[in-house]
């Protein structure tokens, strides 16, 4: 079972600054386990970010994105209370969606 993402969305003017940390091994398929066997490639291939249900970012990744990936983006025309939804899908077909609310600038 995957772990929740950590999504922070903060308003700066009318732009939401969105910062997402995901828990994922992002295995390259090059690493060996303690028994010397190759650990199969396992990485997030796609990340979709939506703002109030409308897609604002469609990311395609390779296994070269770091373990426990970070994604930062900015969304124009946002207001405090807007919904940011993030869905990742990995190469094994596992997926996870988490949501956050845009917070007013602190």
Partner 1 sequence: MPKNRRTFLKLTGGAGALIAAVAAGLIPSRSAWSAWNKPGFESKALADALKSLGAANATVSKEIAITAPDIAENGSVVPVAVTSKIPNTESISILAEKNPFPLAASFDVSNGGEPYVSTRLKMGQTSDVWAVVKADGKYFTAKKEVKITIGGCG
Partner 2 sequence: MMLIVRSAVPALALLCLTAAPIAAQNKDDGLAIGRKMLADDNPGELWVERGKRLFFEKRGPKKASLEQCDLGVGPGRAEGAFARLPRYFPDTGKVQDLESRLLTCMVELQGFKREDIVKSRFGTLDRDSDMEALVSYVGSKSNGMKMNMPLADPKERDFYKAGEYLFFRRSGPLDFSCATCHTEDGKRVRLQELPNMTDPKQMQMVVSTGWPAYRGTQASVRTMQHRLYDCNWQMRQADLGYASDLSVALTSYLNHHANGGVVQLPGVRR
Residue 48 near partner 1 by CB under 8 A: yes
Residue 31 near partner 2 by CB under 8 A: yes
Query: CB neighbours of 66 closer than 8 A, spacing ≥ 6?
Result: 26
Name the binder of 3 from partner 2, partner 1, none, CB < 5-8 A by kind: partner 2
Name the binder of 57 from partner 1, partner 2, none, CB < 5-8 A by kind: partner 1
Cα–Cα distance measured from residue 63 to residue 20, given in angstroms and rounded to the nearest whole number: 18
Give the shortest CB-10-to-partner 2 separation in angstroms: 12
């Amino acid at each position: 079972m995957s772990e929740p993402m950590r999504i922070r969305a903060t308003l700066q003017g009318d732009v939401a600054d969105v910062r997402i940390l995901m828990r994922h091994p992002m295995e390259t398929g090059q690493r060996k386990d303690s028994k010397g066997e190759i650990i199969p490639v396992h990485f997030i291939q796609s990340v979709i970010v939506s703002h109030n249900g409308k897609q604002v970012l469609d990311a395609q990744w390779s296994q070269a994105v770091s373990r426990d990936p970070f994604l930062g983006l900015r969304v124009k025309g946002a207001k405090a209370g807007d919904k940011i939804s993030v869905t990742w899908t990995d190469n094994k077909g596992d997926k996870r969606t988490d949501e956050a609310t845009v917070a007013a600038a602190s």
